Amino acid sequence: MATKKTEDAFALSFDPAKFADSFRDFAEKGAAQSKDAYAKMKTAAEEATKTVEATLESAQSGSVELGLKAINALRTNAENSLSHMEALLGVKSLSELVELQTAFIRKQAELAVEQAKTMQEATRKVAENVAKPGKEAAEKVVSTFKKA
């Protein structure tokens, strides 16, 4: 009799059909969650790729802009130096030499300050443009967390 009670108890608590249904539900939920997680990861990876591409594009165009400004500054300085050398060749007295040299040095100092300001402003703009895609992506992620 004890074996019959054990068999009855086991039969009541373990129904293979119910177990299979439960396992199937569990597997389906797991698969759905995996698909959802994969879709979110794929979207995040695509957005990260776009952010990196935009950052690199901004960095490249900014580098070109800064390079052109530096070349322009070098060209201006070279032209000023050549003009000064030509003027020095026509000097007739020591006082004229001192006057020309003083004027040239003052003009070059003022030009150097102006060029430094121009390069600083251009560098600031390039840095802002390079950081902009990353900043926007970070703000988007933060806003997503705030919603959740």
pLDDT higher than threshold 70 for residue 5? no
Residue 31 lies in a domain: yes
Residue 11 lies in a domain: no
CA distance 98 to 31: 86
Helix 16-89 vs helix 94-147: angle between axes, to the nearest 10 degrees?
170
Residue 34 lies in a domain: yes
Task: Give the range of the structural domain holding residue 111, as residue numbers without chain letter.
Answer: 16-147
Alpha helices in the chain (DSSP H): 2-13, 16-89, 94-147
For range 90-107, the mean pLDDT:
95
Q: How confident is the model at residue 3 (pLDDT cuts 50, 70, 90)?
A: low
Among the listed residues 141, 145, 127, the one whose alpha carbon sits nearest the alpha carbon of residue 43: 141
pLDDT at 148: 59
Residue 1 lies in a domain: no
Q: How many domains does the chain have?
A: 1
pLDDT at 52: 85
pLDDT higher than threshold 90 for residue 70? yes
Cβ neighbours, 10 Å, residue 58: 19
**In Å, how far are 8, 17, 50, 83 from 4, measured between CA atoms?**
6, 22, 68, 116
